[in-house]
Amino acid sequence: MPSQSMAPPSPPPAGSLPLAVRIALVALPAACFPAGAAILALNWWNNWAWLGLFLLTLSPMAAMMAYLRLFRRCTMRPAQHRYQRRQAMISIVYVFVLMAAVELFKLGYAKGPLGYAVAVAPALPIIGMFWALGRYVAEETDELKREITRASLMWSGGLTLCEATVLGFLENFGLAPHLWLWVVPVAFFVQLGATTQMVSRRYR
């Protein structure tokens, strides 16, 4: 009588999970973004603000990675893997650099020439995120994915500029509150995720 293999069965692929479970696994980190924004707005300059900052910074990347793993049928390409790793690392660096800059400001070290370095330091990881986007476009060999990325960048960039222009005039006329300019790249990346899905549908 032939012996039967005692190897344990392999776990089911992510795509075999029920649709409701997959939606929940993507919605949970996505919901952390507005939650983080609310925590940050209500607790600015105290210790709870760091929780809001962590959620605000890392939740979009976590939601996107969950979506790609649970809903995309095609295999992720090497350039996409590298892009995700770079963005994840840059996001983590951004959180710690911003924490250090805020603490230095509280301790009074952000004065004089050193103050410029402290203030500019948190902007460098954000610039690195745009660099990672450029690297992905340069490294991606699939022309369709490159075209989708280019179109998504144009749409999200255009939307962000239009929104900044309208809000700027509303603020000048006293009809809108003042917004810090670092909100602009946040809006860009949030809209980039939405425009990527919209553009991708055109090629299905």
Q: Which residues contact 22 (CB under 8 A, 6 or more apart)?
A: 14, 70, 71
Fill in the DSSP letter of residue 16. G
Query: 2 lies in a domain?
Result: no
User: Residue 4 above 60 pLDDT?
Assistant: no
Q: Percent helix, strand, coil in the chain (nearest 5)?
A: 75, 0, 25
End of a domain among 121, 141, 161? 141
Query: 168 lies in a domain?
Result: yes
Q: Are residues 137 and 153 in the same domain?
A: no
Fill in the DSSP letter of residue 108. T
- pLDDT for res 158: 96
Q: Per residue in 64-91, pLDDT tens? A: 777 777 766 656 788 988 998 898 899 8
Q: Are residues 127 and 178 in the same domain?
A: no
The rounded Cα 116 to chain-centroid distance in angstroms is 26
Largest CA distance in the chain: 87
Query: How many domains does the chain contain in total?
Result: 3
Confidence of residue 3 (pLDDT cuts 50, 70, 90): very low
Mean pLDDT, rounded, for 132-156: 93
Domain region containing 156: 142-204
Query: 6 lies in a domain?
Result: no
Query: 1 lies in a domain?
Result: no
Spatial separation of the C-alpha atoms in residues 50 and 96, rounded to whole Å: 10
pTM recorded for the entire structure: 0.72
Tokens of 57: 């910074």
Tokens of 84: 């995700």
Q: Are residues 22 and 37 in the same domain?
A: yes
pLDDT above 70 as % of the chain: 89
